[in-house]
Amino acid sequence: MFLRFWEKIGEELARAWAARVMSPALAFWGGGLLAYAYRHCWQEITQWWVALPWPTQVALLGGALLGVAFSEMLMEWFQDKVLRLAEGYWPRPLERPRFALAQRWISGMEQKEERWNDLRAKRERDPERLSPQEREEYARLDMELAHFPVDRARAMPTSLGNILRAAEEYPRVRYGLGAAVCWPRLWLLLPEGVQKEITAARERLNGAARLFGWGMLFLMWAVWAWWAVPVGLAVAFLACRGMVMAALVYGALLRATFDLYRFSLYKQLRLPVPSLEEEEAFGKKVTEYLFRGTM
């Protein structure tokens, strides 16, 4: 029994080690090695390596693997900061461009909202009057507006930031529940399967954020090789696309969770279930009660 126990522990450690080593961190350091070899003579590097005694080679390889695993761990620690930068939470010196870009988003969305209202009015008068192109445009605008904050003052300078802001804003707009206050309590009441789905969606978002961080860091190898710039920018661009797609799924799950399980929160707090007409005002009281202890 103990042998099986230690075999299981060994398997888990091996999987964790493989996940650390076989990661974007390995590609990052491998790319750095190729960039260094591009600048210097690869043959000289190979000769230097062959001249080393094998114990030194083993030690260097082991140290390199440890370095890759440790760098991956560091990126996991900083993934939240990378994600916040991608959302548009920029430092104070960048406040001016941040608010300027947010204002551009607001102006663009106002124009799209006007167009959506025109198509909606036309659709309500006679659905058959909309051409196939207009129907497609109506659906696209409807989706874009749904993933933009209702409170325009909360607009962010990036698409990712606006998608996540809209998802965080949803329970307050719909039910009067503050997401930051109510989410930790609601999370504890969710079924295990729901928690796993949300955790997986969040991990996809975090994984894309880590990849974005590695792509931006890859630019520093440009001191040795010019091609590090297009490679790093391409990885960062693909990671941005991945973050946006993951944020859409994560935001949809957050919305669905409040839609389906907010009554469990009311029940556990021993509060009555409000009517649909009263729920927004009731939700604000619940948020106030959880945050300040008053209702």
Quickly tell me which residue has 């090789």 as its tokens.
225
Would you say residue 43 lies in a domain?
no
Whether residue 199 sits in one domain with residue 73? yes
Whether residue 215 sits in one domain with residue 165? yes
What was the pLDDT predicted at 45?
A: 66
- The tens digit of pLDDT for each residue in 27-76 reads 898 888 888 888 776 666 676 666 777 777 677 777 777 888 888 888 98
Quickly count: other Cβ atoms within 10 Å of residue 236's Cβ: 20
Would you say residue 48 lies in a domain?
no
What was the pLDDT predicted at 47?
A: 67
In 75-109, which positions are buried (b, 16+ CB within 10 angstroms) versus exposed (e)? bbeebeebbebbbbebeeeeeeebeebbeebbeeb
Total structural domains within the chain: 2
Whether residue 257 sits in one domain with residue 146? no
The C-alpha atoms of residue 169 and residue 150 are separated, in whole angstroms, by: 8
Judged by phi (left if over 0) then psi (alpha if -120 to 50, else beta), residue 176 lies in left
- The tens digit of pLDDT for each residue in 201-242 reads 999 999 999 999 999 999 999 999 899 999 999 999 999 999
Greater confidence (175 vs 18) lies with 175
Which of these three, 157, 174, 200, is where a domain ends? 157
The answer to whether the CB of 162 falls within 8 A of the CB of 149 is: yes
| Whole-angstrom Cα Rg for the chain | 25
The C-alpha atoms of residue 161 and residue 244 are separated, in whole angstroms, by: 9
Would you say residue 259 lies in a domain?
yes
- The tens digit of pLDDT for each residue in 242-289 reads 999 999 999 999 999 999 999 999 999 998 888 888 889 999 999 998
Whether residue 109 sits in one domain with residue 84? no
Whether residue 207 sits in one domain with residue 63? yes
Whether residue 239 sits in one domain with residue 274? yes
Mean pLDDT over each residue of the chain, to the nearest integer: 86
Domain residue limits at 143: 95-157
Whether residue 198 sits in one domain with residue 177? yes
Would you say residue 277 lies in a domain?
yes
The C-alpha atoms of residue 24 and residue 6 are separated, in whole angstroms, by: 30
